[in-house]
């Protein structure tokens, strides 16, 4: 069997170059991806997962991942919490819609509560823990959007109206709040 | 050159069957798609486009389409209005997040105003027109989510709080409000 080998060419009925396989002619249309995740609270503390996989292995994140085919975003957010943290969620509402155009991501982030007190690291997590707001390891968070989601969750808890939050003004997910740039692929 | 020919098999590092090309081994990961669109108002009337393409050719819809790579949802919603209706939009806010899991779609629908009074059918539209609320051709709307978006826009106009609306309870985008089922691919 030949190996797949792609060139960037524009299909006849299109106006954007797409990756087309030189061996078989398959057009690999690429679309932005949907990330679904949750800020999960339990008795006033927040559930975070320490990533066992790249990018940002060893850093802390909220349970989140790619939406699968034929899945609702809420089902996807519950599945990701189950896979990464063995946690069963009760979803309250949509908290935020972020976009990271550099890596073609749209993120739908929910507010949720743990249904039971059980949680444990799944295969993609080194550790899972509950943090009181003052104990959150801000210097070791994986992505800019994890900062945004935790800040927006705190605003919502303090009575902000239930609008979905969006990217902070001028931010496109390319740098951490301290100004450090985040390398390509690490958004 | 061989033709692409796909079988459904589970890659080694995965637990979901994916389409794998028999000629070249390429794994065609498929992801849900993001639709971005807008309920567009101008002087109290609403802009609708009559579709020139399948599915639902001849039916009326709001300007909407697939988000492209490296595009923010707001930019995508503006681009779609430009392509389908030659309309320049001023986006106000996110109105609704819908999901149609049968066809693996997540839809982000914005509220917008026309920036100028110019509009005209683009290549994917047979016609573009402004409708007073009482004149909207409800019997000729293209998709269930167009009904939802117009109803949610009216609720927002009547002072509903700025929450993003979601699918009506129990609805997954498979039927029109009169109960008619919508054929596969026509969601």
What are A39-58's pLDDT values in tens digits? 999 999 999 999 999 999 99
Closest in B32, B72, B163 to A67, CB measured: B32
**Interface contact B26-A31, CB threshold 8 A:** no
Is B9 within the bounds of a domain? no
- pLDDT value of position A39: 97
Closest B-chain CA to A163? B163
User: Residue B90's domain spans which residues?
Assistant: 33-157
**Dist. CA B112–CA B85, nearest whole Å:** 14
Is B105 within the bounds of a domain? yes
> Can you tell me whether residue B146 is helix, strand or coil?
helix
The answer to whether B24 and A3 have CB atoms below 8 angstroms apart is: yes
Out of A19-33, A79-93, A113-127, which region has the weakest mean confidence (pLDDT)? A19-33
Q: Does B34 touch chain A (CB under 8 A)?
A: yes
Is A84 within the bounds of a domain? yes
The answer to whether A61 and A143 have CB atoms below 8 angstroms apart is: yes
CATH of the domain at B72: 3.90.79.10
**Interface contact A22-B1, CB threshold 8 A:** yes
Is B170 within the bounds of a domain? no
Is A7 within the bounds of a domain? no
Q: Does B93 touch chain A (CB under 8 A)?
A: yes
User: Tens of pLDDT along B123-155?
Assistant: 999 999 999 999 999 999 999 999 999 998 998
pTM above 0.90, yes or no: no
Does the pLDDT of residue A26 top 50, yes or no? yes
**Dist. CA A138–CA B48, nearest whole Å:** 46
Is B20 within the bounds of a domain? no
pLDDT band at B77 (very low <50, low <70, confident <90, very high): very high
Is B121 within the bounds of a domain? yes
The answer to whether A110 and A95 have CB atoms below 8 angstroms apart is: yes
Is B175 within the bounds of a domain? no
CA dihedral A13, A19, A25, A28 (to 10 degrees): -80
Q: Taking CA B166 as the corner, what is the angle to CA B160 and CA B171, rounded to the nearest 5 degrees?
A: 125
Contacts of B26 in chain A (CB under 8 A): 4, 21, 24, 26, 28
Q: Does B9 touch chain A (CB under 8 A)?
A: no
Which of B94, B132, B88 lies closest to B114, judged by CA? B88
**Dist. CA A30–CA A104, nearest whole Å:** 10
Q: Which residue has the tokens 């899991």?
A: B101
**Dist. CA B101–CA B95, nearest whole Å:** 20
**Dist. CA A100–CA A182, nearest whole Å:** 12
Residue-level length of chain A: 187
Contacts of A2 in chain B (CB under 8 A): 2, 23-25
Q: Taking CA B64 as the corner, what is the angle to CA A64 and CA B19, rounded to the nearest 5 degrees?
A: 55
> Can you tell me whether residue A39 is helix, strand or coil?
strand
Backbone φ and ψ for B37, nearest 5 degrees, come out as -160, 175
**Interface contact A70-B104, CB threshold 8 A:** yes
Which of B158, B83, B89 lies closest to B124, judged by CA? B83
CA dihedral B4, B9, B12, B16 (to 10 degrees): 120
Q: Look at chain B and report how many structural domains it folds into.
A: 1
- pLDDT value of position B185: 45
CA distance B103 to chain A (A): 7
């Amino acid at each position: 069997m030949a190996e797949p080998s792609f060139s960037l060419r524009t299909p006849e009925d299109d106006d954007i170059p797409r990756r087309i396989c030189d061996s078989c002619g398959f057009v690999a249309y690429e679309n932005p991806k949907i990330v679904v995740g949750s800020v999960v609270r339990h008795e006033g503390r927040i559930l975070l997962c320490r990533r066992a996989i790249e990018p940002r292995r060893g850093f802390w994140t909220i349970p989140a991942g790619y939406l699968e085919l034929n899945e609702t975003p809420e089902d996807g957010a519950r599945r990701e919490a189950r896979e990464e943290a063995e946690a069963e969620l009760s979803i309250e509402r949509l908290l935020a819609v972020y976009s990271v155009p550099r890596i073609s991501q749209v993120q739908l982030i929910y507010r949720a509560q743990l249904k039971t007190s059980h949680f444990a690291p799944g295969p993609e997590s080194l550790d899972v823990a509950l943090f009181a707001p003052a104990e959150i390891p801000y210097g070791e968070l994986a992505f800019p959007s994890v900062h945004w989601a935790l800040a927006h969750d705190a605003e919502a808890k303090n009575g902000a109206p239930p609008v979905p939050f969006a990217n902070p003004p001028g931010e496109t997910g390319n740098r951490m709040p301290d100004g450090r740039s985040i390398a390509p692929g690490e958004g």
